[in-house]
Structure 1
C-alpha cells in the first residue's frame, strides 16, 4: 500500500475518529426510519415540479429584489467580465505532495468558483445576456479540470497522493461543492446557456454524473459513515452538495430517489456522532459546515418534498442549531477549542433561517445581528461572492426579511454542554462587560483535536486575555501522523501543566475524569481530573483542576495534584495576546497591545511558583488574521515540586 495513503488513513482513523461505543445513540430518531426510500418515492417532487428558487426566466422575482442588492450583484459580476480564468497546472497541484503547500493551488481553485458564482448571479439579476459568454467560459473551465477537489484530499484514491487519477473520481468536499455550483448554474440559466451552445448543459450533466452522482451511488466514501468510525463535518457538507446535484440534475427518477434515500441514511451517521446537547466538538468555525450543513440538507429535503419531510421539532436538530450562539463571546469572538479560529464570520442568513425553522427567537435574532454587523443590506453583497451558489441564493432572496428582523446577540450567561464537556459563563446575561470564561474536559480524539483536556480561556469586557491560539494555515503536516509536532496542537501551548517535559497525548483514552459542573447567580465552576489525559511518563496519580468564575470579581484556578514519584519540573502555561509584565513576584499585569493601561492581572503564590514570560512571534497568516504580531506565553514553574500539592492562581480585571 502507498505509504502516504497509509499515513492519511491512519490519521483519519486515529486523530479524528471516536471508538464505536461513542455513537449509535439509543432512543434517537432516525431519518432513515422516518423517511425510508418508499416514503421518499411518495413525497419527492419531480425535477420539473421542484422550484426552489426563481430561474432566470422569472424576471419579476429577480427584478423585484431591493435596488441596493441588485446593484451590488451586478457590480460583482462586472468585476469578472473578460475574466482570465486562472490556470491549474499539474505542477501546482503537485506542490502538496512535494512540499506540503496546499494554499497556492486552493487560491486559484476557489477564485474560479467565486468568479462563476458572481457571473451567473449577475446574469440572473440583469437578464440581458451580458455575462453569458463569461459564464460559459467558467463552466467549461471547471468541466475541463481533471479533479474538482483539492490536492490535500486526493490521498483517498488508490494511486495515493500526487496527481488525480481520472479513472477514479474521488468525492471530496470541493468536488461536491463544484458540482453544487454547476448544478445551480444549469438550473438558474437553463435555456439561456443553450443560446451560447446546447452542449454546455449537456456537459454539466455528464460531468456531474461521472464525478458525483454515479460514484456516490456506487461507492461508500468514508465521509458517508457506512464503513464505521465517527464522521465529522464532511458528512453533511458533502451530502448537501450531492443532494442538490441529485435533485437538480439526475434525469432518472429511480436513481434520484435512491440517491436521496442514501443521503438520508448517511446523515443518520452524522446525527449519531452528536451528543444530546448538540455541541460541535469541531468548534464554531466548523459549525458553519457541520450543523449548518445539516440544516442545508434538512431544508433541501423539506423543500423538495413540499414540506412532507420535516424534523425541525426534534430536540437534537434544535440543539445543534443553538450551539452557535451558546459559544459566542462578543463581537466576532467565539470559543475556539480544537482547530477553530477565535474570530468567526457566521453565515448570518442561514443562522436566521435555522432559527426560524426551529422556532428559536434567539437564533433568529443572532442571525439578524450578524447580518446587521456586516453592514446589512447596503453592504451584504458588495464584493462578497461566495463560491457556493445555494446559500448565496438564500441570502439574496432573504435579505429584505432579515433586514427587518429583530436583531441582537443573545449573550447567554451560562452554558454547560455535558456531552462534549464544555462550559461557558459570563458575569451577566446579555452583556459583554466583565469576565467571560470557557473551559473544557472531553478527550484527545475529538474532531480537529488539540491535546487540550482541561484547557480554558478568559475574556475581559469582550476582549481576549487568556487564549487558545487556534491553528496555523493548513499544510500536509496538519492532517498527518506529524500533527502533534505542531506547537499549536500541543498541551504545553494551552492553559495546561507540563510535567518534566511530558505533555498530554492524543487518543480517546486520554480523557478527563470525574467531571463536575455547577453554577448559580454568584459563580460558575468546572471541576475535573485531567491526569488521565497524560501518558504514564508524567507520573500523575491525579490532577484535579477547579476553574471558577466568581461573577464580578475574578476567575480562580485551583490545581490539586498528586504524583506517583518525584519529578524535576512542573510548569503551567498561559497564552495571552496582551503584553505581559511581571510587575512584582506574585503579580503579572496584562495590557492589550493597543492600550497603555493593564486590563487584567494574574496573581499567584510567589513562594511556590516562579513566573517567566516568553514572547512568541506570530508569523502564520491564519493566526495573524486574529492575533497581534506577538503573543506572550506565561510560564508558572514550581520552585520545589512536591509529590502532592495545591496551588491557586487568579485572573482578574484591573478595573472590576
Structure 2
C-alpha cells in the first residue's frame, strides 16, 4: 500500500479510540470477574509478590560477552527473561490490582531498568551489529544514542510494544518521567532505526516468525506512541510489506512448518498488530479479510494429537497449552475456529520468555461464554497438502489414539531433516516420538546444526542407508504419492529417495502408511527400496518414547496407559536397541531411545513391512 494512501487512511481514523476493544477500566473489571482466569492470575500474583522480595538483577558485561566467547546463550537469556518476567507480571498486576501501590513502585523501577539496558536485543542476535563494534568514533557535536542502524531483533521489537502498551494501559497512574523515558527509548532504539536506518533489516523480507514479530511489534508500538498520520504511515509503509512476507511463508493449507509453538508466536504477533491496525484505521485496513489468514487461524485445531499433546515436528514442543483468550479472539473473526476445553489453558509460565503481549491478550480476549462451550479436540483426519503433514486423531470409547507423519523438504524454517518421519500416540504418550527442539546455541543455528541429534535424520524415524542420513536442502524432499482419509482407514504414501544423497545409489524409496482406525488401531508401514546395486547396509530406525522391551515375536513399547507391539519379519531383520544422548531445549541432558532394525539379506530391490499393534 502506497504511503500517501496510508496517510489518508490514518488521517481518517480515530487516534483516541479504545485500542484494545474497550476502556482499560472495563477490561480490568471483566478480567477480574472471570473465574476461569483465576489460576492464570494467581501465577501472576506469585511472580509479582516474588518481585517485591528480590532485587532487580542487571545484565552485566560478563553475561553480555558469554555468547561471543563461548557460543552459549543460556546464561544471558536466563537473566534477560527473568527481567521480562518481572516487567510482565508487575505490568499486569499493578494494572489489575491498583489498590496495591507497592506493585506500581516496583513496576516503575523495572521499566526504568529496562530503559537503561545497553540493548534490548539478545546477544545471540547481535553478530555483526553496531552494538558489537568496539571502535570509538564519538564527537562532541554529534547526537548521542543508538547507532542509526541499531540492531532490531525479536525482543527489541517486543520490548518496544510492551512498554508502549503498558504506558497506554496505566495512563496517568505512571509518573510523567516514566512516560517520557518509554517514549524516548522506543523512538531511539526501534522506531527511528526502523524508518530511517538505511538498509532494510533482513527480517523485513523473512518468510517466518521474525517478520511478523518484529514488524508487528513495531507497528503496534507506533500506534500507541504516534499521533501523526504521516508518522504512522512512515512506519506502516514498511511494516505492512514485512507482514506480507510473513504470510507468503504460509501456503494455502495454513500449516506452520516451524511447529505449533511458532504458530502461537509468529501468527500471534501478526494478529495483535492486525487488530490494532484495524481499530486505529476504523476498519480501513482489515488484514483478517484475507482467506489465507483464516486458514492459518484454523491450523491450531489440526496441530494436536490429543489434549495438550502437540504434533511436534520441527522445533515444536511436545506438550503445549492453549491461549484461550487468543483462541476466543480468532473465533470471533472466524466461526470455524474450534473452542478448546478450559483444561487446555496454558499457564503463565508456559512461555519461558514471559512475553507481555500474549499474556495480556490471554486475559482481555477471554470470553466466559466461549470458555463454557469449549471441548476436547474432535476425532478427525487432516492432510495439509502444501506442508505434506498428515494428522489423524481417533477415539475408541475413552481411549485416545493419534498418528501423524510428514513429507516436506529439508530446508523448512527451523528445519529438521525428517522427510517421512512419523509419530504414534496413545492415551497421554507418544510411543513413537519426535524429539522436538534441542538447546539453542551458535551451532544450533550455524554450520553444526545437522551434527545435533534432533536436527539430523539420525534422530528421526526414517531409514539409514549405507550409514548415511538425509541431507539438508530444499531439493532433499518427499513427494506425496497419495493421501486418503475415510472413517475406517487412512492412507499416506510418500516417495523419499530425493531426501538422501547420490552416494546412497538409491533409485526409489516409497514409504506407505496405512492407519486402521478400529477399537485397537493398527499402523501398517511398508518401505519399498530400489538401488542401482545392493547397498552395504540398511537400518530402519524408530525413535521410541519409552525404553523398548524385546520379546520373542515383537518389540514392545509400553507406557502406563498403553502398549504397542512392533511386529516384523525376523528372518529379514535383526532388532537392536540404541541409546542416544540429547540436550533438550531447556538444556537438560537426556537419553533418546531408538530401535534399529538391521536388514540381514541385502539386495538391489526389496520391501520391508512393519505392523504397530496396540496390545
Task: Give the TM-score normalised by the residue count of structure 2.
Answer: 0.90
| Aligned counterpart in structure 2 of residue 440 of structure 1, from 402, 406, 429 | 406
Residue 159 of structure 2 is matched in structure 1 by: 178
Q: Distance in 2 between matches of 1:470 and 1:161?
A: 36
Q: Distance in 2 between matches of 1:283 and 1:383?
A: 16
Residue 554 of structure 1 is matched in structure 2 by: 522
Say if 1:33 and 1:333 are closer, same or farther in 2 by CA, change over 3 A.
farther
Residue 292 of structure 1 is matched in structure 2 by: 268
Q: Distance in 2 between matches of 1:94 and 1:620?
A: 23
Q: CA deviation at 1:320?
A: 0.2
Say if 1:463 and 1:384 are closer, same or farther in 2 by CA, change over 3 A.
closer
Q: CA deviation at 1:572?
A: 0.9
Say if 1:185 and 1:321 are closer, same or farther in 2 by CA, change over 3 A.
same
Give secondary structure in 1 for the equivalent of 2:586: helix
Residue 335 of structure 1 is matched in structure 2 by: 311
Q: CA RMSD in A?
A: 2.9
Task: Give the TM-score normalised by the residue count of structure 1.
Answer: 0.84
Say if 1:391 and 1:166 are closer, same or farther in 2 by CA, change over 3 A.
same
Q: Write the deviation string for residues 480-513 of structure 1: whole angstroms up to 9, x where unpaired.
A: 0110111111112211111111111101111113
| Aligned counterpart in structure 2 of residue 191 of structure 1, from 172, 176, 184 | 172
Residue 645 of structure 1 is matched in structure 2 by: 606
Contact 1:213 1:250 in 2 (8 A): no
Report which structure shows greater RCO (CA 8 Å, sep ≥6): 1
Q: CA deviation at 1:193?
A: 2.2
Residue 555 of structure 2 is matched in structure 1 by: 588
Contact 1:470 1:623 in 2 (8 A): no
Residue range with higher mean Cα deviation, 386-395 or 184-193: 386-395
* Residue segments in structure 1 that go unaligned for 5+ positions in a row: 1-31
Q: Distance in 2 between matches of 1:383 and 1:641?
A: 48
| Aligned counterpart in structure 1 of residue 238 of structure 2, from 254, 262, 284 | 262
Say if 1:551 and 1:372 are closer, same or farther in 2 by CA, change over 3 A.
closer
Q: CA deviation at 1:457?
A: 1.0
Residue 396 of structure 1 is matched in structure 2 by: 363
Give secondary structure in 1 for the equivalent of 2:454: helix
Q: CA deviation at 1:325?
A: 1.0
Q: Distance in 2 between matches of 1:566 and 1:307?
A: 65
| Aligned counterpart in structure 2 of residue 235 of structure 1, from 205, 211, 220 | 211
| Aligned counterpart in structure 2 of residue 222 of structure 1, from 188, 202, 216 | 202
Are positions 1:422 and 2:422 aligned together? Answer: no
Contact 1:613 1:632 in 2 (8 A): yes
Contact 1:181 1:390 in 2 (8 A): yes
Q: Distance in 2 between matches of 1:78 and 1:261?
A: 42
Q: CA deviation at 1:624?
A: 5.7
Q: Distance in 2 between matches of 1:34 and 1:649?
A: 60
Contact 2:439 2:583 in 1 (8 A): no
Q: Distance in 2 between matches of 1:162 and 1:512?
A: 47
Q: Distance in 1 between matches of 2:7 and 2:228?
A: 16
Are positions 1:117 and 2:88 aligned together? Answer: yes
Q: CA deviation at 1:45?
A: 2.7
Q: CA deviation at 1:414?
A: 0.8
Give secondary structure in 2 for the equivalent of 1:94: helix
Q: CA deviation at 1:433?
A: 2.7
Residue range with higher mean Cα deviation, 407-416 or 126-135: 126-135
Residue 282 of structure 1 is matched in structure 2 by: 258
Residue 495 of structure 2 is matched in structure 1 by: 529
Contact 1:617 1:631 in 2 (8 A): yes
Q: Write the deviation string for residues 339-398 of structure 1: whole angstroms up to 9, x where unpaired.
A: 1121122322112211221122x42x12xx1x43449xxxx6799997433333333334
Are positions 1:570 and 2:538 aligned together? Answer: yes
| Aligned counterpart in structure 2 of residue 45 of structure 1, from 4, 14, 17 | 14
Say if 1:41 and 1:433 are closer, same or farther in 2 by CA, change over 3 A.
same
Q: Distance in 2 between matches of 1:575 and 1:187?
A: 49
Residue 609 of structure 1 is matched in structure 2 by: 573
Residue 132 of structure 1 is matched in structure 2 by: 104
Contact 1:602 1:650 in 2 (8 A): yes
Q: CA deviation at 1:338?
A: 0.9
Residue 14 of structure 1 is matched in structure 2 by: none
Q: Distance in 1 between matches of 2:150 and 2:157?
A: 11
Q: Distance in 1 between matches of 2:64 and 2:504?
A: 43
Q: Distance in 2 between matches of 1:203 and 1:143?
A: 7
Residue 469 of structure 1 is matched in structure 2 by: 435
Q: Distance in 1 between matches of 2:584 and 2:30?
A: 45
Say if 1:569 and 1:620 are closer, same or farther in 2 by CA, change over 3 A.
same
Give secondary structure in 2 for the equivalent of 1:650: strand
Give secondary structure in 2 for the equivalent of 1:244: helix
Contact 1:477 1:483 in 2 (8 A): yes
* Residue segments in structure 2 that go unaligned for 5+ positions in a row: 137-144
Contact 1:329 1:462 in 2 (8 A): no
Q: CA deviation at 1:144?
A: 0.8
Residue 154 of structure 1 is matched in structure 2 by: 126
Q: Distance in 1 between matches of 2:386 and 2:500?
A: 21
Residue range with higher mean Cα deviation, 145-154 or 75-84: 75-84
Say if 1:62 and 1:346 are closer, same or farther in 2 by CA, change over 3 A.
closer
Q: Distance in 2 between matches of 1:636 and 1:385?
A: 38
